[in-house]
Structure 1
Amino acid sequence: MNMKKWRILVADSHTIIRIGLLQLVSENFVSEELIEARSANETLLAIRANPSLDLIIIGTNLGQLDELIGKIRELSTKVRILVFAKNLHYPHAISYLIAGTNGFLTQNASAEEITKAVVKVLGNERYLCLELLEAMAQETFLNNVHRRKISPHKNKTDTPSSLNDKLSKRQKEIVDYLIKGESVSAIAIHLNIKISTVGTHKSIVFEKLGVKNVLELVEMYYGDLVV
């Protein structure tokens, strides 16, 4: 049986991330070439030197990534691009997709999810991590809410009183970030606490309020603001 041999470039300024991704790829895919790049310039040079690349796994620490993706697309319209982001920042993720990315993952992804994403992208499919899919659904929901002319007189960053009575100060802070579409990892950075701590608070909030996901939380929050 003939197995496709892939040409893959891993571009990230952090050595440990490059090593980890290269190791993962080498263990799960038959590769004709595995190349690494440490900067935006090295990435573009590698693409010029290897015009038949199949996939670029690219970190978000290489500068203005949407601009870099645009330059990559000028050099090759066929190479697949999988972004491997430190955390989810919704506007940036969308700009990467618009610039020409085929997939988006965060560093919270397990080895199994990374492998699944690479398989999908190499198969000419798009891969979006669950965090981004939830953020996109939430953004759609919020846009629909605003079209219904929710009260403009309340500060949307203040949690409604019915939620205030049930939540601690820290939990209210986390709710405020969740309804803005922030990921667990991003909230941990904002509040300078561990990701696991945010996850624990999030689970407690959901249990206290009787919601199953962020979309239900947003619906409850904005429902209290309807006039």
Structure 2
Amino acid sequence: MKKELKILLVDDHSVVRHGTSLLLKKAFEGIVISHADNFKEAIDKLNQKQDVVFLDINIPGGNSTKMVEKVRHDHPEILIMMFSAYDETQYALRYIHAGANGFLNKYSSDSEIIKAVKLLLETGKYLSDAVKEKIVENTFSKNPVNPLDKLSEREIEVAQLLVSGEGNLEISNKLNIQMSTVSTFKSRIFEKLGINNIVKLVEVLNIYKN
């Protein structure tokens, strides 16, 4: 490891940034930590030659995987660790495919966070055991990595209308289908994605819809 390690923590919650900063400073010598609470500020500070960036999914000015793609394009040498409260088994691979080096859940134990950073620095990547198991499960069961691949084109269409705020009646009129059919599509969408409300549907579409 280099004598000086520069890490940028990007999160709009100061408690998360400062707590993570204290943990990392205790675990690593010669560490210099910078903070940003929005994507624009993060871009400015990334231009100051950081080694690692901890990047939350939901930050002001950010746009899901597009953030990772921009950081990777502008700074191909930097190690990107996604740091989110979202379920890593659902979201990690999407961000890794976009260019991240790892995905770490904010609710991980202190020891797991330190282990993750060490592995990131040593190998250039980090996957939790849960994500590794998910990869194996998807491989053997042939489940799609992108859960939206489970949906038909019509179900995608209905899902997009639902997250845009359209009700069953509006969707029925727009697609020229019965309201009962809209309800059936909605139930199928929720079941296939393993969710139970529109808020979760919004999250899934924000992450996985190109």
2:95 counterpart residue number: 96
Quote the residue 2:3 is aligned against: 4
2-structure distance, mates of 1:87, 1:33: 27
Q: Runs of 5+ in structure 2 lacking a partner? A: 144-190, 200-210
Residue among 50, 54, 58 paired with 2:55: 58
Runs of 5+ consecutive residues of structure 1 not aligned to the other structure: 145-178, 191-227
1:139 aligns with 2:123: no
Question: What is the distance in 2 between the residues matched to 1:86 and 1:32?
Answer: 24
- Provide the C-alpha distance between the structure 2 equivalents of 1:126 and 1:14, rounded to a whole number of angstroms: 25
Structure 1 or 2, whichever has the larger Rg, is 1
Q: CA deviation at 1:108?
A: 2.6
TM-score where L is the length of structure 2: 0.63
Distance across 1 between alignment mates of 2:41 and 2:99: 19
State the secondary structure of the residue aligned to 2:44: helix
1:1-227, aligned counterparts within 5 Å? 4-48=3-47, 50-51=48-49, 53-62=50-59, 63-88=62-87, 90=89, 92-143=91-142
Q: Structure 1 length as normaliser, TM-score?
A: 0.58
How many pairs were matched up? 149
Secondary structure at 1:21 match in 2: helix
Q: What is the rounded CA distance, in whole Å, between the counterparts of 2:9 and 2:43 in structure 1? A: 12
Matches of 1:82 and 1:42, distance apart in 2: 17
Distance (Å, rounded) in 2 between the aligned partners of 1:181 and 1:126: 28
Cα-Cα RMSD = 2.7
Return the letter of the residue paired with 2:128: C
1:111 Cα deviation after fit? 0.4
| Offset, 1:18 | 0.6
1:30 maps to a residue whose letter is E
Shift of 1:32: 4.6
Q: 3-state DSSP class of the match of 1:33? A: strand
Distance 1:94 1:38 in 2: 24
Deviation at 1:33, TM superposition (A): 2.1
Structure 1 pair 112–90 and aligned structure 2 pair: CA distance change class (3 A): closer
Q: Deviations over 1:135-170 (max 9, x none)?
A: 2222222217xxxxxxxxxxxxxxxxxxxxxxxxxx
> Post-superposition shift, 1:13?
0.9
Over 3 Å counting, the alpha-carbon distance change for 1:19 and 1:180 in structure 2 is farther
Provide the rounded CA distance (Å) in 2 between the counterparts of 1:107 and 1:132. 15
